[in-house]
Structure 1
Amino acid sequence: MKTFFATLFTFISYISLAQINDIPTINNALEKYSFIQEQIIVNNDTITYYLKNTKTKPSNLVVFIQGTDANPIFSYKVDKGKITYYRWFGNDYKSLDSTYTYAIIPKPGMEGLYKDGEIIIPKSYYEKNYLEYRIKQIDVSINHIIEKHLNNPKKIIVYGHSEGAAIGAALATINKKITHLGFWSGNVLNNFYEFALFNRIESLKGLISDEEAHQNIMGIIEWYKSVVKNPNSTEIDHIGFTNKRWSSYEKAPLDYLTQLNIPIYALFGTEDESTPIETAYLLPIKFIEKRKENLTFEVCISCDHSYKLKTDVGQKSHWNEQFKKFIEWTDKTK
């Protein structure tokens, strides 16, 4: 059975080299990228977040929520006696002025520094990688940042990509301090419906037969039934996730988004291979239906899941310009 799901938009960047006689630590990586680490203990559970290090306390916060997959935030590689440090997120934080700080909260169990090629996904990731726990992590982190690291807070901006978009939509219904939400390339409807839709699209394109599409979809429906029958299982399935993870996302992000009254910036690519653009158009339709005017709906024409565009000379990324437009949008909306 062929299935489709929202994949992580992974940024991997590296910075200067260190001598091998240095011992790689998370502090080395944080120093290289000008971030700090904070840890909060909640009911014997340690929640970690990484925050852009600023000289003075800013008034605005931007929080990025990663997409699917158990990737770390920081890693390193040893090559020919040198240590190279990597970050698994993009340059967005670099484009922000001194009135902003930028935070990213690692997936459960994926905090700290990892050696490239030796990244082992811990058991805690599978046990805690579900919507309610991710909301808890980010909610607690935002509240801590506001209390400890901001001065006269103004904008609390959250934007999530792919799975992170779905998390952000649910989070914003709980954390009332969030002032702006970015919903980037997230599934609008239930994952299992969108998996089925992709099969129908393949059939229409002649990539698979009508019968094959139908059989695939019936298999997806049976898969969904098995998840519902055992929703708290943390056994790893054929895709690398658990029933607990799948069942926690059963409510469609569309239902969370239409509950919100804060400004929402929804962004999609028309050539997205992970999130069907066909369901994206339900967002403006539903907001009109509910007489709500807090949605800004943007589409990157011919762009893929990560806003890359195929050209005659390769791919061109539109991510950076989309982020700048997003931040400018927050200045114009309340």
Structure 2
Amino acid sequence: MNASLKILCLFFTLYSFDVFAQPVTPGEHGLKEFRIEDKKLGTINFYVDTTNLKSKSPLFIETNGSGGMPLCLYIKGQKFVTTYTSYSSLLLDKTKDKFHYVILGKPGTAFCDTLSLDMGVEEFQKNGAKAVMLNYRFSPEYTKRLSLYWRVEATKVVVSYLIKHGFWDRTKLVAYGYSEGGQVVPALAVAEKRITHVISVVGSGLNQFYGDILEWRIKAQRGEISQQGAQDSIVSYMAKVTDIYKNPNNVTKEFGGHSYKRWASFGSSIPFEKPQKVKYTNLLN
């Protein structure tokens, strides 16, 4: 199972899956959509909860995981429809009364999109994550632009917009990220000095290419595969990694469902080292 499919499976486990109600607009999710046109970054869509929209509050920015999925996906199957969200509705519910909850969309990606699948509800419940991964196509704009640089810089632009337009009360500014977002927020905290709190969840501490290498070594140690088998896999894997670093801006070559550009940008950053460069406090303070 490749990294993208693992993340999508995690989304289906942790986030909204509803076979009855199908909210598909930002407003139906309790969010207001904003748009910024930036000369370098292109269109930046972001969403703020509407609970206390006109008041100044602390900011809670969710930085979601990998892939060019919309924040809401309307899925049409055989005799059923459902919606899937790639943001945390639980976080929205828990933060909206005390914070402005904020989440950015991915480049070139609408808030909601539709996907038709040729399967019934029982099959979807068993294999839905894989089916979505195989059938949903990320936008060309996403592939062209998505990188660690884009995610950090776009978030900085949004933070400046929110401050300029009176959303922030200049107390807490929380950057929360999971998976790929968990790798974004340490770099974001270094680049955006106004961030006061950082929460990184299941993001890699080392260069993200280490994950598969460690997995092969662990399997060999457990006797699940041979040491030679692990080494052969690593040698083959490193050949691909080397090619990625030789072509760091290539958006036509892909690995694990993502462009070389995306992999090279994240591979250039070691998340574990970032907290050493920034002073931060505990969210519970």
TM range (shorter): 0.7 to 0.9
Structure 1 counterpart of 2:171: 154
Unaligned runs of 5+ in 1: 19-23, 264-328
Alpha-carbon spacing, 1:119–1:192, altered in 2? closer, same or farther (3 Å): closer
Aligned CA RMSD, in angstroms, stands at 2.7
Alpha-carbon shift at residue 182 of structure 1 (Å)? 0.4
Alpha-carbon shift at residue 243 of structure 1 (Å)? 1.4
> Letter of the aligned partner of 2:167 in structure 1?
L
**Residue 41 (str. 1) matches residue 37 (str. 2):** yes
Alpha-carbon spacing, 1:238–1:98, altered in 2? closer, same or farther (3 Å): closer
Structure 1 counterpart of 2:92: 93
SS in 1 for 2:237: helix
> Letter of the aligned partner of 1:72 in structure 2?
P
Alpha-carbon shift at residue 195 of structure 1 (Å)? 1.9
> Letter of the aligned partner of 2:44 in structure 1?
I
Alignment partner for residue 186 of structure 1, among 203, 226, 236? 203
2:180–2:203 contact (8 Å) kept in structure 1: yes
> Letter of the aligned partner of 2:29 in structure 1?
Y
> Letter of the aligned partner of 2:113 in structure 1?
Y
Alpha-carbon shift at residue 149 of structure 1 (Å)? 4.7
Alpha-carbon spacing, 1:13–1:143, altered in 2? closer, same or farther (3 Å): farther
SS in 2 for 1:38: strand
2:43–2:108 contact (8 Å) kept in structure 1: no
Alignment partner for residue 12 of structure 1, among 6, 12, 16? 16
Question: Percent identical across equivalent pairs?
Answer: 23
Structure 1 Cα separation of the partners of residues 229 and 79 of structure 2: 53
Alpha-carbon shift at residue 222 of structure 1 (Å)? 1.4
For 1:83-136, what per-residue CA distance to the aligned partner results, in whole angstroms no more than 9, with x for missing partners?
865533221110125231111111212233201337431111111111101111
2:206–2:270 contact (8 Å) kept in structure 1: yes
1:292-311 to structure 2, matched below 5 A, reads none
Structure 2 counterpart of 1:126: 143
Alpha-carbon shift at residue 151 of structure 1 (Å)? 4.7
> Letter of the aligned partner of 1:259 in structure 2?
K
Q: Tell me whether 159-168 or 66-75 shows the greater mean CA deviation.
A: 66-75
Structure 1 counterpart of 2:127: none
Structure 2 Cα separation of the partners of residues 222 and 71 of structure 1: 29
Q: Tell me whether 138-147 or 83-92 shows the greater mean CA deviation.
A: 83-92
1:17–1:82 contact (8 Å) kept in structure 2: no
SS in 2 for 1:204: helix
1:250-265 to structure 2, matched below 5 A, reads 250-263=268-281
| Bigger helix share | 2
1:40–1:47 contact (8 Å) kept in structure 2: yes
1:1-334 to structure 2, matched below 5 A, reads 7=7, 9-10=10-11, 11-14=15-18, 17=21, 29-43=25-39, 45-55=42-52, 56-77=54-75, 86-90=84-88, 91-96=90-95, 98-117=97-116, 119-249=136-266, 250-263=268-281, 329-332=282-285
For 1:176-220, what per-residue CA distance to the aligned partner results, in whole angstroms no more than 9, with x for missing partners?
111000011111111222321111011111111110001111122
For 1:11-39, what per-residue CA distance to the aligned partner results, in whole angstroms no more than 9, with x for missing partners?
23449747xxxxx9xxx622211100000
> Letter of the aligned partner of 1:92 in structure 2?
L
Structure 2 Cα separation of the partners of residues 80 and 31 of structure 1: 28
1:126–1:241 contact (8 Å) kept in structure 2: yes
Structure 1 Cα separation of the partners of residues 155 and 19 of structure 2: 27
Q: TM-score, normalised by structure 1?
A: 0.70
Structure 2 Cα separation of the partners of residues 57 and 134 of structure 1: 27
Alpha-carbon spacing, 1:83–1:209, altered in 2? closer, same or farther (3 Å): closer
Aligned residue-pair number: 258
Unaligned runs of 5+ in 2: 117-134
Q: TM-score, normalised by structure 2?
A: 0.81
Q: Tell me whether 152-161 or 113-122 shows the greater mean CA deviation.
A: 113-122
